[in-house]
């Protein structure tokens, strides 16, 4: 099968790859940094400083000098005291939500990586037509898992830090990557059976 790449299709694939690559970078930085939830304290002199930060994996308390005391949530479930929240429940329930949020978010990042790589392979889709289905499918799953991770984490954390913002921007970029990838795949995909049937009909008419 011969696939005709025009400027529009190449531009769509390129945009999808660029969006996916940027989203992958932002998501990795966001999930790996601690400032998903931050709480601030006012000093007696009127200054404001961040006294605690937290993400899905660990939490830290900071002092005026900037020194941090951190603890891994998986090793110390009592570390839930660092998570200042406005919700009901117990530490076991909160930790379950954070476990699910961490797992879903990481799976979403893995899907971003696979989807972006398969987007690159769409440039060679004339050799394997299945690639036109694989790339949008992985990006779609990335959108779902990232959103599910954010929803689970929101049951415990208040997303007011830059790390959460980075991950949320990555989710938006993946939506755009999915749209451009799906449009390009739809334009380029040509069913072999339909093509063969069309050729037979043309021969009969002749």
| 38 domain-assigned | no
Nearest to 50 by CA among 38, 59, 58, 60: 38
Q: Per the domain annotation, does 70 fall within a domain? A: no
Side by side, the strands of the sheet bearing 58-62 are 37-42, 48-54, 58-62, 68-72
Mean pLDDT of 91-103: 85
**83 within domain boundaries:** no
**Residue 192, in any domain of the structure:** yes
Please give the model's pTM, rounded to 2 decimal places: 0.80
Over the Cα atoms of the chain, what is R_g?
A: 23
Rounded distance between C-alpha atoms, residue 125 and residue 88, angstroms: 51
Residue 49: inside a domain:
no
Flag whether 80 is in a domain. no
| Domain count across the chain | 1
Judge whether residue 200 has pLDDT over 80: no
CA 160 from centre of chain: 18
Averaged confidence pLDDT in the chain: 80
Q: Range of 172's domain?
A: 7-33+88-200
CA distance 198 to 45: 81
- CATH number of the domain where residue 145 is located: 1.20.140
The answer as to whether 74 is a domain residue is no
Rounded CA gap, 183 and 150, in Å?
27
pLDDT digits (tens, 9 = 90+) for 147-191: 999 999 998 888 988 999 999 999 999 999 999 999 988 887 765
Checking if the pLDDT of 14 tops 60, the result is yes
Residue 70, pLDDT > 80, answer no
Top-confidence residue, 179 or 81: 179
């Amino acid at each position: 099968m011969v696939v005709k790449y025009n400027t529009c299709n190449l531009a769509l694939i390129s945009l999808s790859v660029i969006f996916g690559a940027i989203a992958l970078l932002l998501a990795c930085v966001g999930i790996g940094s601690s400032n998903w939830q931050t709480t601030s304290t006012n000093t007696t002199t009127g200054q404001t400083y961040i006294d605690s930060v937290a993400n899905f994996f660990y939490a830290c308390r900071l002092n005026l000098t900037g020194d941090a005391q951190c603890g891994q949530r998986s090793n110390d479930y009592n570390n839930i005291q660092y998570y200042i929240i406005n919700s009901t429940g117990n530490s076991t329930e909160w930790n379950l939500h954070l476990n699910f949020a961490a797992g879903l978010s990481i799976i979403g990042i893995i899907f971003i990586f696979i989807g972006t790589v398969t987007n690159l392979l769409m440039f060679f889709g004339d050799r394997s037509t299945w690639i036109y289905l694989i790339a949008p499918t992985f990006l779609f799953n990335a959108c779902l898992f990232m959103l599910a991770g954010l929803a689970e984490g929101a049951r415990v954390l208040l997303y007011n830090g830059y790390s959460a913002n980075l991950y949320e921007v990555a989710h938006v970029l993946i939506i755009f990557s999915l749209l451009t990838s799906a449009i390009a795949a739809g334009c380029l995909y040509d069913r072999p059976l339909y093509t063969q049937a069309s050729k037979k009909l043309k021969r009969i008419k002749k």
